[in-house]
Amino acid sequence: MIERLIVLALVVSSVSAAEPTPAGMAWIPDGTFTMGSSQPGSRPDEKPEIPVSIDGFWIDTAPVTNAQFRKFAAATGYQTTAEQPVNWEELKRQLPPGTPRPPAEALLPGSLVFTPPTGKQPVNLGAMEQWWTWTHGASWRNPDGPGSDLKGREDHPVVHVSWDDATAYAKWAGKRLPTEAEWEYAARGGLEGKRFAWGDDFKPGGKFMTNTWTGKFPSHNSAEDGFPATSPVRSFPANGYGLFDMGGNVWNWCMDWYRPDTLARNKLANACHNPSGPPESYSPGRPHQKERVTKGGSFLCHVDYCESYRPSARRGTAQDTGMSHIGFRCALSGPAPISP
């Protein structure tokens, strides 16, 4: 009897000592899925499709919000990339050799703010500078630039954060950023081969499933989905894993370096179990820039320009860049939740 009581006490102790379910996170079980896409409209860097197996992990059910990031900044005194002067020595390493140093005022703290063009002339969708403005004083605290603040946006995803900022927050929270493969696997919500995180129909039954651009990009957003810019997290239905905003609202930083040929390289190397991306970034059009993978698209995505709210869509973004539509969520490696 004494021995049985000792064993029982040890079992109870081990259960009570086990880590509880992390707050605000969902468990994504082990599984295999088809990463990438060959569907119409998919870009070359989404190909080829490859089978990928993933070990179970935890991921935030929604992007990190302004309120959450504010707690981090208050606790640590952290200054984001956008709140610091531009480091010219670092910047010039990302530019073609011989690029002249910009004037001092161009190196003041700031970030890229979405600024819809107001002219009546047709907009060249290949010239993003027509709707992005480098704005001194723009940061996560002042998302639209000087004079703006977070009032009423506490539950919106934090934006104007670089990959370095997202990584710093994740470390403080005892987490990490998800790999690209983990992010895409989680975004699909258990659906195989579907165009979106909820199925193949963009508006099933006429219902908006995510926050994207409605109207004519980039000059007029009709806000038919209810939001002209970012929306509070969890404003739209969750996917099959209980995750919100896995398409639209804000792009999500991932852990991986970006290359347009990552999937092809993984297939060739048979790196199809928990792939973690290439050892360094490379993009032919931006050979000097250090880029990380961003996934999920944003409120600025529109089918006529960027249908990147599809799970397979991916792009490379300079890791020291902050913008009006880039945020992040965190991940955490096991252990799996304890079955009741």
The answer to whether the beta carbons of residues 306 and 314 sit under 8 Å apart is no
Helices (H) and strands (E) in the chain, counts: 6, 13
**Any idea what DSSP says for residue 36?**
S
User: Do 325 and 298 touch, CB atoms closer than 8 A?
Assistant: yes
pLDDT digits (tens, 9 = 90+) for 144-155: 999 999 999 999
Contact residues for 133 (Cβ-Cβ < 8 A; gap 6+): 112, 113, 115
CA–CA separation, 284 vs 296, rounded Å?
22
Query: From CA 112, how far away is CA 136, in angstroms rounded?
Result: 9
The reported pLDDT for the residue numbered 336 is: 85
Q: Are 56 and 28 in contact (CB under 8 A)?
A: yes
pLDDT for 271 equals 83
The pLDDT value given to residue 110: 96
Q: Cα(295)–Cα(254) distance, rounded to whole angstroms?
A: 7
**In angstroms, rounded to a whole number, what is the distance separating the alpha carbons of residues 291 and 282?**
7
Torsion of CA 315, 298, 187, 305, to 10 degrees: -60
pLDDT tens, per residue, the chain with 340 residues: 433 333 333 333 333 334 578 999 999 999 999 999 999 999 999 999 999 999 999 999 999 999 999 999 999 999 999 999 987 777 767 777 878 887 777 788 999 999 999 877 788 888 888 999 999 999 999 999 999 999 999 999 999 999 999 999 999 999 999 999 999 999 999 999 999 999 999 999 999 999 999 999 999 999 999 999 999 999 999 999 999 999 999 999 999 999 999 999 999 999 899 999 999 999 998 888 999 999 999 999 999 899 999 999 999 999 999 999 999 999 999 888 876 5
**3 state SS of 123:** coil
Rg of the chain on CA atoms, in Å: 21
Q: How far apart are CA 308 and CA 297, in angstroms?
A: 5
Contact 258, 283 (CB under 8 A): yes
Two tokens, residue 219: 């000059």
- For residues 181 and 251, give the distance between their C-alpha atoms in angstroms, rounded to a whole number: 15
Tokens of 331: 């991940």
| Threshold 0.85, pTM exceeds | yes
What pLDDT is recorded for position 340? 59
pLDDT recorded at residue 19: 53
Locate 190 and state its tokens.
Answer: 């258990």
Q: Count CB atoms within 10 A of the CB of residue 140.
A: 21
Separation between Cα atoms, residue 213 and residue 131, nearest integer Å: 14
Cis peptide before 85 (omega within 30 of 0): no
